[in-house]
């Protein structure tokens, strides 16, 4: 098999990442980052019934290592930025607390607490039955 630039196995499209649970602003920033670095890319939409996730594809497989490095650096910078923003919210007293969230979304929080309690019960119930 020839490894020439005309060989689609080497130069064909390759998926860089899926967009499942990725906010729109992050999708746009990653696409812009790739564009700024001359990496040709395109996106595919989510499947009709949500079975397949939207994704970001590179047109040239040979640019995958560069794109992964750019994405990794971007993700690290985004995480640091989010941590700083959260710390600022905590210092200013504007960070949402457990009780504020409980007041804002009572049903969801009750569901989460019930789910945790059920998991704990199912995890320890076999050991409690050993004592009988």
Measure the CA–CA gap between 68 and 2, rounded to whole angstroms: 25
pTM of the model: 0.68
Measure the CA–CA gap between 105 and 48, rounded to whole angstroms: 30
pLDDT of residue 92: 93
Interacting residues of 42 by C-beta distance below 8 A, sequence separation 6+: 13, 56, 57, 59
Element (H, E) at 58: strand 55-58
Q: How many beta carbons lie within 10 A of that of residue 14, not counting itself?
A: 14
48 or 14: whose pLDDT is higher?
14
pLDDT of residue 2: 38
Q: What is the mean pLDDT of residues 2-14?
A: 60
pLDDT tens profile 59-106: 999 999 999 999 999 999 999 999 999 999 999 988 898 889 889 999
pLDDT of residue 1: 38
**What six digits make up the tokens of 23?**
């906010």
pLDDT averaged over the chain? 90
């Amino acid at each position: 098999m020839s490894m020439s630039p005309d060989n689609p196995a080497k130069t064909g499209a390759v998926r860089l990442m899926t967009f499942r649970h990725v906010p729109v602003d992050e999708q746009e920033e990653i696409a812009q980052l790739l564009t700024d670095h001359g990496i040709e890319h395109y996106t595919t939409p989510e499947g009709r019934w949500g079975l397949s996730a939207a994704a970001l594809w590179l047109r040239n497989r040979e640019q995958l290592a560069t794109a992964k490095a750019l994405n990794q650096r971007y993700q690290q910078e985004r995480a640091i930025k989010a941590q700083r923003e959260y710390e600022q919210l905590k210092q200013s007293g504007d960070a949402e607390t457990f009780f504020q969230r409980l007041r804002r979304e009572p049903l969801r929080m009750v569901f989460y607490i019930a789910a945790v309690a059920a998991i704990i019960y199912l995890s320890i119930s076999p050991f409690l039955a050993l004592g009988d």
